[in-house]
Structure formats: structure tokens, C-alpha cells
Amino acid sequence: MSRQGPLLTLGSVVVVAGLFLYGNAVAAKPGKTPAAVPTPAATSSAAPASSAPLHALYAGRSSGDQVTIAIAINGKKAAADLNAGLASEVSLQGSVTGNLVTLTSSSGTRLTGSVSGADMFGTVSGFLGQSFPFSAAQAVVQAVYAGRSSNGDVTLAVSTDGDQAVAYVCNGHTIEAWLQGSVKGNQVNLAGNKGASLTGSLSGLAMFGMVTPSAGLSLPFSAELSPHPAGVFQARITVNGLATRIGWAVLPDGTQLGVAVIGSTKQPAPPLDLSDGAFTLDGSTFTAAQVAGNANVVSP
């Protein structure tokens, strides 16, 4: 027995590990289906309305590593950004057929890719006079969409993480709301306190919808998939003994709009240093943090 003990221990570990691996392979379901491989049935007009378009984001690089590539797929539509550094960014639009993605830009850049599971492989031609192959992997969609209401009254930033999302919307002095909820397919549904809500749909690299920062005030908005420094930022501090929560919606150009709720009074948020999240209030320096899409912001 004393000779077999260690082997039995080893064996039981292997068996348990095998069971877990098997359980994962068989039982676990992905949060979202690997992108954009519509079945032939989905292309027929008889496809039920419930087969919502799939939303997926692929991120990758050219084979030479010089060009970063972001491709967003929404059902049969797709959009992409190619970026080779400063001032050499190209946006492409196109479509998805089966597992093939074809995108073009007005300047003649062309991207073709094929989706294979969680990866996309393809070729880019006519980008800064060059053609090259690329590969991209499906990203866990941690993205920031930032924009404004159509009348410009409120600024908002939405942070997504897989099927979860949070948003901050404000007008910089009196109106503000924290929202959180889900991303299902290309539909975004967020809710906050006191009737605040946001419903949006993802289309290409943008999100369009209706935001209601407070009951009775509904505004159409558009937001773009935005790189750093865009995002939702938050700070919870104590000012003169009053619990204070400050939110900022930051646009990709660094424009920021925020509201500080000190106790129960609202005032414009202090400017946020986007390089390190620092801000000054009442002579003291504090730090704000970027809020991830899976954070709890409504009733934390």
C-alpha cells in the first residue's frame, strides 16, 4: 500500500483533471458564439427574426507587425480600422458572406479575410501602397464607445466587457447617470437609477441608440468605437466629510465631461489628467480609475 499510495494519488489527480477537462469540452458553453459564420439558413429571407446578427471584434497585426488591424462584425456588415501609426489610419466598410469578410475604403484599400473559429486570416492590399497578409484573433470585446447625443447636450462613454457593459452619461454640470447592463448580439441594454436607461445597437464600429439620463429626458445618440484615452472614469472620495462620487465620460480626442456629486449637490467635475487619472479637488489630489465593462456602477 505504501508503494501504491503515491501512484493512487497521482492517478486520482489525473482522473479528476480528465473529468474537468472533459466537462469543459462538453458542457461549457461560450459566452458568445465564435463570430460570423452564418449558416446558409441565415441567408434566406425565411430566417427567423430571433437569429440576431452576431457581434464580434477581431484584433490583429500585419505579418510584418507594422499595421494594427481591428475588425468589427455585426451580422452581415463589417467595418475595420487599419492603423500604421500617426496619421496613417484607414477605415474600411464591407460585408460578411459565409465566413468571408470583404472590406474596402474610399481610398482604394481592400481587405479580405476568412473567419476560422476564433481567428481571422486574410490579405490587405493598397494600404499606403503596400499589400500584406494579416492575422487577427477574436477579442474578448473590451471596448469603449464614446460619443454625444445628437443635439450635443450630453456626452457619454460606454465600456463593454464581453456581454456586460457600463456607461456614464452627463452634461457636465447638472445631468448625470451611471448605467449598466448587457450586450446581447448587437443590442446593448443598460439601466440605471431613477428611470435612467440606454438602449443601443452596434453597427460596424459605432453604437446608435437612445439614452435617458433621467426619466423624461430621452436623447438619440451615436458613439464610436474609441481608442485610448476614451473611456468611463470614476472616483469615489470624501470631500469635507461628504461622500463624493465623480464620473467622467472621455472622448478619444481627450475631451472630457464630468459631474461631481458631493453629498447631494452636483457640480462640474474637476479636469482629469488622462495620463495618470489624477485630479485636484479642494486643494487635494486624488486619482480616478477607468471603469471596466464588468464593473458594478449602479448600486455598488
Judged by the rule CB under 8 A, the positions of this chain that interact with another protein are 3, 5-7, 9-10, 12-13, 16-17, 20-21, 23-25, 27-31, 117-119, 140, 162
Q: Minimal CA–CA distance to 122: which of 106, 104, 101?
A: 101
Alpha-carbon distance of 217 to 214, in angstroms, equals 6
3-state secondary structure of 60: strand
Q: Minimum CB separation from another protein for residue 254, in Å? A: 26
CA distances for 159 relative to 39, 128, 143, 209, 251, angstroms:
30, 32, 6, 15, 12
CB of 49 to another protein, least distance (A): 27
126/162 with CB nearer another protein: 162
Nearer to another protein, 47 or 140 (CB): 140
CB nearer to another protein: give 149 or 159: 159
Contact 200/251 with Cβ under 8 angstroms? no
Sort 12 into a burial class: Cβ within 10 Å, 0-12 / 13-18 / 19+: exposed
Q: Minimum distance from CB of 199 to another protein (Å)?
A: 26
**Minimal distance in Å, beta carbon 35 to another protein?**
13
Report the nearest approach of another protein to the CB of residue 178 (Å). 19
Q: Is the peptide bond before 30 cis (omega within 30 degrees of 0)?
A: no
Residue in this structure with the C-alpha cell 470624501, named with its chain if needed: 238
93 by DSSP, 3-state: which? strand
- Residue closest to 262 by CA, chosen among 292, 231, 233, 235: 235
* Minimum CB–partner distance for residue 295 and another protein (Å): 10
Calpha distance 130→6 (Å, rounded): 61
How many helices (H) and strands (E) in the chain? Answer: 2, 23
Specify the residue, 117 or 195, whose C-beta has the smaller distance to another protein. Answer: 117
Which CB sits closer to another protein, 242 or 289?
289
| Cβ distance to another protein smaller for residue 35 or 196 | 35
Least distance from another protein to the Cβ atom of residue 2, Å: 8
CB-wise, 26 or 46, nearer to another protein? 26
DSSP codes of every residue in 169-194: EE-SSS-EEEEEEEEETTEEEEE-ST
Per the DSSP assignment, residues forming a β-bridge with 280 are 285
